[in-house]
A = this chain, B = another copy of it.
């Protein structure tokens, strides 16, 4: 199923276009225009002659140009006529934002069946109805009802709750996690979650697929597609409705007969889908898979600036299938030469509060180079500048440091931190092992994803050890799945 012209249209028509705030026709139109879409945009309206400064068309039929994609935002009772206009004008891609279909009861279900029949008979791809819209950051197409503008990247999202999927993009925007494509699958009258998944498999802009699922109609097809996709790229999914209360809520939300969660969970495991428990986890895991190499096995080396953080991280690792092997002799020796006499002499390696970046980098490289470790978690170095800055600020306030000296100090610290993060990416590349930095004191301007030009890897900077450990655990599981599959 090739949805390329749906997600990468050169020309768009919006049926029901409006400039009255808080109408869907205005949300979609203003979002597309303001979002910087570079293709053509044709407003279609029977009541308004000008919308956002552009002359409208009375019908899709009136547009002289070829239209690759039509958004429909007019009421449910009007959509069949609009679809006929689309067919007659050779339009094959429709995003049906309109609600009032199967989610409202029997009448709506009948109308939705009609839409489905029409789409099949005429070879049309229809998103929705009752969809939040679509996004393709790589051609600046932001066409959702709620405006979100994440930066371009490798994560593609399909969500059976447009609202929830949109919110995940909003978090991604805040944290500068890169998104490729998004679709709120809505009622799935025509295109199903499996169709989008299959399309993302061969989409070159997509490196990771993120799914929010409440129910699947065709379990067999889902398994088949999922199993093919996971061989090529990671798929992270949250299946909601896993409890009785949740399943009842899902039924009343999307009408999803969520079936047995136990069965679905086993399907996800068999097909190598990475399972998330919460929407935040969905994004966090997707960002990890989009950034780090996966570890070959589960042996973790921990390096920390504060002993307590090492203890907490070791607990989290052991509770999440990861092991904390002892320090091998050669690493012990190398560290012993560099550290104060009373250092931990064990994994976790406690650098005893010495925020010395070179020492930190060296220690990380000693561990990454060792055959004893498959992954490294490092705590406290990133973010430690925050405390140094505060001390300098106090000295400045008390008259012991000039404003210029403070600024220079701050610039240096910022630069050290950037250099440190670059260095970590280089070590990651050199040894092909994930190195996860945990920053315990983030400033507003600190980035959550660090990139180094020319590198295929990125760094996600975690705000807590538990988040880093969860991501590492799931990467390990996926790596184990791929290894089994190869054998």
Q: Mark A residues whose CB is within 8 Å of B.
A: 19, 21-22, 26-27, 30-31, 33-34, 52-53, 103-105, 146-148, 159-161, 163-164, 167, 170, 212, 214, 238, 240-246, 248-250, 252-254, 277-280, 305-312, 314-319, 323-324, 341-342, 344-346, 348, 350, 353, 380, 386-388, 390-395, 397-401, 440-441, 444, 464-466
Contact = CB atoms under 8 A, between A and B. Distances in A.
A380 B444 CA distance: 24
Contact of A315 (B241, B318, B394): B241
A312 B21 contact: no
Nearest to A464: B280
Contacts of A241: 311, 315
B30 A164 contact: no
Given A214-B308, A394-B34, A21 B315 contact: no
Of A104, A160, A391, the most chain B CB neighbours within 10 A belong to A391
A101 to B, nearest CB: 10
Nearest to A401: B21
Nearest to A246: B315
Nearest to A105: B342
Contact of A314 (B31, B159, B243): B243
Nearest to A384: B146
A240 B279 contact: no
A280 to B, nearest CB: 5
Contacts of A309: 161, 163-164
Contact of A308 (B53, B240, B243): B240
Given A306-B163, A440-B167, A22 B391 contact: yes
Contacts of A147: 387, 390-391, 393-394
Contact of A397 (B34, B252, B348, B395): B34
Contact of A253 (B307, B323, B399): B307
A398 B278 contact: no
Most buried by B among A318, A319, A342, A394: A394
Given A252-B346, A306-B164, A170 B214 contact: no
Contacts of A33: 394, 398
